[in-house]
Structure 1
């Protein structure tokens, strides 16, 4: 699957409707964003089972604001509707490939257990 442009109207539906969703927050005027785009596109072709979304921060200001995007490009990785990774900066191909491999390898039952444990601890404080 090639990259998919995401908007506020379809962002939640996309994240909720797919297992792994990567999101690239970018803007046309951003040099590092333009440098990262071909890497992101190339890996999207290699991983058709993953949704590779793109959010234009100029067109989708409210969405960028909701995720507190302060620097672009920013990459986010969701799996089973859980945000697992969020970092600004253009990544080289190998780094993006490693992030994908790590997200795919996660034991999501263990991730959910750790989240529940953190929430319980926070509620007790």
Structure 2
């Protein structure tokens, strides 16, 4: 069973994504800010991190930078979710724009776990 860390300060969205991912068979960890997410990454080494771009304390891109700077977490794929038009390309593996469809989220996570390309990963290359 793959472990996914969801990091988002929108608790309603966090719960919705958590419910869907658990139904799909994933073990789900959650964080409501980037600082807490980094602590969980360091302790749990999830298989994939899904993070909102705009969060308190540490944003999603800074979370990616910190993960990439740590040898133990550098290889963990990261999906950044954003409502912004432009997000710095700094360490994330896939980029999804809000509103995020469940099918796109699942596709991105599964493709990162298997190494197969997904629509989300292809979109992120063009960002």
TM-score when scaled to structure 2?
Answer: 0.40
TM-score when scaled to structure 1?
Answer: 0.41
Greater share of helix? 1
Larger Rg: 1
Higher relative contact order (CA 8 A, sep 6+): 1
